[in-house]
């Protein structure tokens, strides 16, 4: 893409002249159903019975979207690398500042270390950096999915620009999420096992409430508190099986990954016993590591694609054409 072209997250257009570009629907102000080519007409297709069947269908349809835009895998890849670097940086800094020995680090890992103020500050900073990285690249991925669903042609640059344009909201959300995370950890550190169960339930409720936060940040550009409230409102207004469906998708990715690992492990073992030696074992282990990495990337991308489709249906009552006939009308039912 030329440097002077700018692709818009709201419409998917570049900055090319109007004579050379075709009009595309606007994310903020979607067109009517009869004019919206990316949307499918409502149908009465029944939802598949069972979590596994629903997860398989969502995985297949979202995989079709991913095949059209394989570059979307860049976002979870870079996000994962960045999160590892953030973890390594903060852990190393924590060890240096606190003067930890190997025995002290082991005590932390085993939950026997009593955190001091420095520990909590470092933990908060790590939470903030980690949340910021994850939400930033998730926002870029969701933005690209939205562009595709609105009829545009997403690019990595378009997704990154969308996330950059919302960097203030993303940073504010990371600050709120880090605060909640540290507060819950502090409470958990000071209560008994019953209190830990209560904290775990609160944490689960918080996670569910945050389900639609990223698409809300991308599309509606709200502040952190309003984004959380909006996410909760969407769940309240159209509560159903969205999270169950997402769980089913994750289950299908896990099963597919395990099957590939079993096949790769079996072939490696057979080749090694046939005289392949250590070289075959190393290659087999590298192959299995690559399978795990690729599955994680694909699973993350599929989750973002499904989330974007569910957000559009939940907020507009319309179905992206890529999910036509999926029975998503049945994924949300009124309370």
Chain CA centroid to CA 302, Å: 8
Q: For a pLDDT cut of 90, what percent of the chain falls above it? A: 26
Q: Torsions phi, psi of 260, nearest 5?
A: -65, -40
Confidence of residue 7 (pLDDT cuts 50, 70, 90): very low
Question: Which SS3 state, helix, strand or coil, does residue 60 take?
Answer: helix
Q: 207: buried, middle or exposed (CB in 10 Å: 19+, 13-18, 0-12)?
A: exposed
Q: Which residues contact 105 (CB under 8 A, 6 or more apart)?
A: 95
Taking Cα atoms as reference points, which of 12, 10, 164, 11 lies closest to residue 1? Answer: 12
31 token code pair: 């067109």
Confidence of residue 130 (pLDDT cuts 50, 70, 90): very high
Asked if pLDDT for residue 57 goes beyond 50, the answer is yes
Q: Looking at the whole model, is its pTM more than 0.85?
A: no
Confidence of residue 237 (pLDDT cuts 50, 70, 90): low
Calculate mean pLDDT across residues 20-48: 44
pLDDT score recorded for residue 79: 92
Calculate mean pLDDT across residues 236-254: 67
Ordered by start, the domain boundaries in the chain are: 69-237, 240-335
Chain CA centroid to CA 162, Å: 16
**Mean pLDDT, rounded, of the chain:** 76
Q: What is the pLDDT of residues 145-161, one digit of tens each?
A: 988 888 888 889 999 99
pLDDT score recorded for residue 227: 93
């Amino acid at each position: 893409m030329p440097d002077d072209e700018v692709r818009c997250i709201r419409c998917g257009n570049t900055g090319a002249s109007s004579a050379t570009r075709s009009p595309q629907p606007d994310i903020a102000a979607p067109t009517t159903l009869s004019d919206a080519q990316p949307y499918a007409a409502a149908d009465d297709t029944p939802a598949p019975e069972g979590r596994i069947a629903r997860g398989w269908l969502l995985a297949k349809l979202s995989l079709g979207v991913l095949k059209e835009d394989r570059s979307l895998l860049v976002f979870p890849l870079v996000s994962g690398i960045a999160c590892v670097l953030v973890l390594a940086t903060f852990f190393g800094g924590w060890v240096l500042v606190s003067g930890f020995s190997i025995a002290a680090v082991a005590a932390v890992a085993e939950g026997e270390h009593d955190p001091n103020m420095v520990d909590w500050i470092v933990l908060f900073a790590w939470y903030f950096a980690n949340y910021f990285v994850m939400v930033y690249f998730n926002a870029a991925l969701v933005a690209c999915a939205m562009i595709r669903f609105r009829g545009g042609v997403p690019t990595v640059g378009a997704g990154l620009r969308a996330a950059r344009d919302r960097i203030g909201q993303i940073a504010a959300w990371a600050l709120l999420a880090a605060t909640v995370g540290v507060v819950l950890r502090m409470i958990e550190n000071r209560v008994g096992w019953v209190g830990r169960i209560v904290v775990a339930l609160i944490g689960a409720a918080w996670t569910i409430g945050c389900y639609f936060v990223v698409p809300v940040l991308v599309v509606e550009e709200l502040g952190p508190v309003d984004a959380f409230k909006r996410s909760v409102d969407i769940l309240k207004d159209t509560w159903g099986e969205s999270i169950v469906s997402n769980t089913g998708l994750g289950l299908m990715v896990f099963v597919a990954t395990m099957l590939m690992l079993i096949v790769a492990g079996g072939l490696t073992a057979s080749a090694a016993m046939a005289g392949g030696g250590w070289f075959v074992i190393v290659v087999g282990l590298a192959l299995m590591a690559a399978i795990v990495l690729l599955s994680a990337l694909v699973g993350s991308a599929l989750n973002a694609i499904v989330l974007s489709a569910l957000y559009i249906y939940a907020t507009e009552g319309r179905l992206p054409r890529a999910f036509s006939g999926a029975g998503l009308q049945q994924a949300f039912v009124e309370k």
